[in-house]
Amino acid sequence: MNKLKFLVDVATEHNKKVETENLKIDTFNITKKDNNLAVTQDSTNIFMLGKNESGQSYFNLGTEVLTDSQLKALREGAVSAGATPLATDFTALADFGRYKANSTVPATGKTLSEMIESAYFKASDGLAYTLNADGASYSVAIGTCTDIDVVIASEYEGKLVTSIDIAAFYGCSNLANITIPNSVTSIGESAFEGCTKLESINIPDSVTSIDALAFAGCSSLKRVTIGNGVKSIGNSAFWNCESLTSITISKGVTSIGNGAFNNCSSLTSIEIPDSVTSIDYGAFYGCSSLASITLPFVGATKDGTSNTHFGYIFGASTYSYNSSCVPSSLKTVVITGGTSIGNDAFTYCRSLESITILDGVKSIGNSAFHYCESLKSIEIPDSVESIGSSVFMDCWDLIIYCEDRSKPANWNTDWNTGYITQTIWDAGPIPRNQTNIINKLQVQIYNLHAQIQELAAQVQELQNK
């Protein structure tokens, strides 16, 4: 690893950090500044290297251009600080201001973005690169590398590194950080399974698939950001990631595999984007701390052709097992899409308190919310054209907020039979009722409290060093 510690996590909207040391090099300093790497001289910004929200490298030119001697010092590093020379020869740039991030720098054959990338990340030694069957790209595995902070090269022997091999880092229990370049398009089965010290992972936009068990058993993994290019999350991909508290699923994902987040017992909330069209059996089984979930549909698929009960994604084979499989911690459900909520979809979901159905759902089946005994509020949009019978039977203390001004003709006459306190018509645009807002705020407060505790632990760890 580069001892200047140019370890930069791929920037995201909510998580951007740069780990650098403030090092004196020749007549200028390399410091952290605005979450980027800043090069300054006499407190004057010369240039800044960084990564934007998409993980792309960029630079900002300051008021001066580096002299040849300064460039040479930057390239060679600070010997007195025990630093390894930087990978990029910046002397090839006569004037940084002449080049945009995606333009090719003369005499190098590389774009400025690529040169900055190589300056930030010096690939780890000892990694094993294997030529793929196409003869035009490489896959990577651990090889003889012993680094705890591993940086994968974006190219090897002039060819792109496009895949992380099957079981590439399996059981690397000392691996603490992994930097995946934008050249990688696939993460193989069990690629990082059993990497018990890995705490966060940023999957770049270039990756299109995360295979089965890719991060299974990463028991210290707390944060995952999935890039916009990912289409599928494989079976048990994050199985038993028991410390996972935050998962950002991009809007490009279309399928989530069987048991993908099985036993992620610290996960408190999750939002599934509307791009997802299928969620396989037990995808969130054992997520025992889950307090809120946002879904694009109810059941297995957006088209609603089979397994239409809510508990399917929690491991319930039929609606009869909703009670035992849907986590009792789950209080708030928001449904953003789909066209139907099937018969008995939420039957026996006894702990749910608030359900919001957004515009687009057209039908709600018989007994859809039967025995939702804790349900206090539900919002029904005016897109709902038909509702079956006994939909809310044994919902003891429920208030129903309907956008329609009165009961539509195709709603069953006993649609709201059973212990309902009140039905409010012409409720206005959804969401609107105070109960639901309070529930959402309580979930947010719970999540913030967990984040504060995590930050406090990190501060304590730094103080103890």
Query: Strand 292-295 relative to strand 269-271: parallel, antiparallel, unpaired?
Result: parallel
What lies within 8 Å, CB to CB, of 67 at 6+ separation is none
Show the tokens assigned to 88: 């990029």
Q: What is the pLDDT of residue 71?
A: 44
Q: Which CATH number is 124-260's, of 3.20.190.10, 3.40.640.10, 3.80.10.10, 3.30.70.100?
A: 3.80.10.10
Residue 75 reports pLDDT greater than 90: no
User: Three-state SS for 58?
Assistant: strand
Give the CATH number of domain 291-436.
3.80.10
What does the pLDDT read at residue 435?
43
Length, in residues, of the chain? 465
User: What is the helix (H) or strand (E) element at residue 256, kind and residue range?
Assistant: strand 255-256
pTM over the 0.95 mark: no
Q: Where in the chain is the domain with CATH 3.80.10.10?
A: 124-260
CA distances from 95 to 101, 111, 127, 143, 216 (A): 13, 14, 35, 40, 47
Residue 323 backbone dihedrals phi, psi, to 5 degrees: -60, -40
**Residue 67 in 3-state DSSP?**
coil
CA dist., res. 149 & res. 250, Å (int): 25
Nearest in space to 201 (alpha carbons), one of 235, 176, 183: 176
Q: Which residues pair with 130 in a beta bridge?
A: 139
- Determine the pLDDT at residue 169: 98
Q: Tell me the one-letter amino acid at 94.
A: A
Higher pLDDT among residues 11 and 332, named by residue = 332
Higher confidence at residue 76 or residue 463? Answer: 463
pLDDT at position 95 over 60: no
DSSP codes joined into one string, 202-250: EE-TT--EE-TTTTTT-TT--EEEE-TT--EE-TTTTTT-TT--EEE--
Amino acid at 339: T
Average pLDDT of the residues in 148-164: 91
Burial of 452 (0-12, 13-18, 19+ CB in 10 A): exposed
Q: To which H or E segment does residue 462 belong?
A: helix 434-464
Q: Is 419 a residue whose pLDDT tops 80?
A: no
Which residue has tokens 């608030």?
354
Question: For the residues 148-173, what does the mean pLDDT come to?
Answer: 93
Q: Tally helices (H) and strands (E) across the chain.
A: 4, 31
CA distance 66 to 46: 7
Q: What DSSP assignment string belongs to 137-148? A: EEEEE-TT---S
Look at 27 and 359; give whichever has higher pLDDT: 359
How far apart are the C-alpha atoms of 290 and 117, rounded to whole Å? 38
Q: What's the mean pLDDT when you consider all of the chain? A: 76
Cα 78 → chain centroid: 37
Give pLDDT, residue 232.
Answer: 96
Distance CA 448, CA 464 (A): 24
The pLDDT of residue 213: 98
CA distance 324 to 456: 35
pLDDT at 226 over 70: yes
- Quick one: what percent of the chain has pLDDT higher than 70? 67
**411 three-class SS:** strand
Of 107, 7, 102, 122, the C-alpha closest to 56 is: 102
Please compute the mean of the pLDDT values over residues 63-89 and round it to a whole number. Answer: 38
Residue 66 has pLDDT above 60, yes or no: no
Higher-confidence residue: 206 or 4?
Answer: 206
Residue 422: which pLDDT band, with cuts at 50, 70 and 90?
confident
Residue type at position 464: N
Is the pLDDT at 30 greater than 90? The verdict is no
HSE-up of residue 220 (Cα within 13 Å, Cβ side): 14
Which residue did the predictor score with more confidence, 107 or 18?
A: 107
Residue 202 has pLDDT above 80, yes or no: yes
